[in-house]
């Protein structure tokens, strides 16, 4: 555990959101959003297109000011201490920050230099290994598949070991195999003590990854619980005896092979 992570534990929830509101002109996007994220957990914010997920992530990462309400990240108020918040987080946006002209390794070295780390080359090599990109590290990122690019993007966001990371739709646009690779990455991060807040439109992504799931709908959190708690909201399914057909996803994955290796999916 890094010093930063143990400090979070001492402070309680890694993220606290209370009564956050945000409008764009006449459009009320967030109408009073409340939730907490426990340190070291994976929290999924689920919502349809336009629900306000990115807006909320931008508020929590200090890129946008809320109209009302409070939010603290790693114990720091986002409005009063934006600099401290920024030092405690990383943000991987809906659109990757990877430079296509540079190689994977050069992208990582660049970020490590910007963060004034002692040995940028060693930092880059460690992350390439962790994200199964060692072989691809010497190639221009422009030649990477979507999954490789997203893994590189997440690797870049981890430089400097931020205790909290925001992943805005980490797997949108990826094929099923690449999605599984990103999921494995996110699970490993949380096992290492990092707090993860991710947004997604995919129910199965939340189901696979999240310790808690909150549903953002029409400006508020309409449900917040563990997967088991959310499932209890529906009456138990009627027991029916049917032959179980594989899903299209099962078939696709068994044909292409769902491995976590350096595949150019």
Ligand X SMILES: Nc1ncnc2c1ncn2[C@@H]1O[C@H](COP(=O)(O)OP(=O)(O)OP(=O)(O)O)[C@@H](O)[C@H]1O
The residue (of 13 and 170) whose beta carbon lies closer to Mg ion is 170
* Chosen residue from 5, 8, 41, 54 binding Mg ion by CB under 5 A: 54
Q: How far apart are CA 139 and CA 142, in angstroms?
A: 8
| Phi, psi (degrees; rounded to nearest 5) at 196 | -120, 125
Q: Which is nearer to ligand X, 68 or 251 (CB)?
A: 68
Smaller CB separation from ligand X, 91 or 127: 91
Q: Are strands 42-46 and 195-200 parallel, antiparallel or unpaired?
A: parallel
Which of these ranges, 48-56, 107-115, 147-155, 178-186, lies near Mg ion under the rule CB under 5 A? 48-56
Asked if 51 interacts with ligand X (CB under 6 A), we say: yes
Cβ neighbour number for residue 218 with a 10 Å cutoff = 12
Q: Which of 50, 142, 246, 257 binds ligand X (CB under 6 A)?
A: 50
Strands (E), the chain: 15-24, 27-37, 42-46, 68-73, 76-77, 89-92, 164-168, 195-200, 212-217, 220-225
Q: Look-up: residue for tokens 């619980």?
A: 225
Binders of ligand X among residues 26 to 45 (CB under 6 A) are: 27, 29
* Region of 12-20, 24-32, 82-90, 128-136 interacting with ligand X (CB under 6 A): 24-32
Which residue number has the CB closest to Mg ion?
54
- Candidate segments 50-58, 81-89, 129-137, 173-181, binder of Mg ion by CB under 5 A: 50-58
Instruction: State the angle between helix axes of 248-256 and 176-191 in degrees (0 to 180), rounded to the nearest 10.
Output: 90
Closest separation in Å from C-beta 63 to ligand X: 10
CB of 190 to ligand X, least distance (A): 22
Number of residues that bind Mg ion (CB under 5 A): 2
> How far apart are alpha carbons 221 and 214 in whole angstroms?
6
């Amino acid at each position: 555990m890094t010093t930063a992570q143990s400090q979070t534990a001492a402070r309680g929830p890694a993220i606290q959101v209370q009564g956050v509101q945000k409008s764009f002109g006449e459009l009320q996007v967030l109408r009073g959003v409340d939730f907490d994220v426990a340190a070291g957990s994976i929290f999924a914010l689920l919502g349809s297109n336009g629900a306000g997920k990115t807006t909320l992530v931008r508020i929590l990462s200090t890129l946008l000011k809320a109209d009302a309400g409070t939010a603290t990240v790693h114990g720091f108020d986002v409005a009063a201490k934006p600099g401290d918040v920024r030092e405690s987080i990383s943000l991987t946006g809906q659109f990757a920050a990877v430079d296509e002209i540079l190689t994977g390794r050069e992208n990582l070295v660049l970020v490590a230099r910007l963060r004034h780390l002692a040995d940028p080359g060693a930092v880059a090599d460690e992350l390439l290994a962790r994200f199964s990109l060692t072989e691809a590290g010497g190639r221009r990122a422009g030649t990477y598949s979507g999954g490789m690019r997203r893994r590189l993007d997440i690797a870049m966001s981890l430089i400097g070991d931020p205790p909290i990371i925001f992943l805005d739709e980490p797997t949108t646009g990826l094929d099923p195999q690449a999605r599984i690779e990103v999921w494995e990455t996110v699970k490993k991060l949380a096992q290492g003590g990092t707090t993860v807040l991710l947004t997604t439109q995919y129910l199965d992504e939340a189901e696979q990854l999240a310790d808690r799931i909150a549903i953002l709908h029409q400006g508020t959190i309409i449900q917040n619980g563990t997967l088991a708690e959310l499932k209890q909201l529906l009456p138990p399914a009627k027991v029916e005896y049917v032959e179980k057909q594989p899903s299209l996803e099962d078939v696709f994955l068994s044909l292409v092979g769902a491995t976590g290796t350096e595949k150019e999916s």
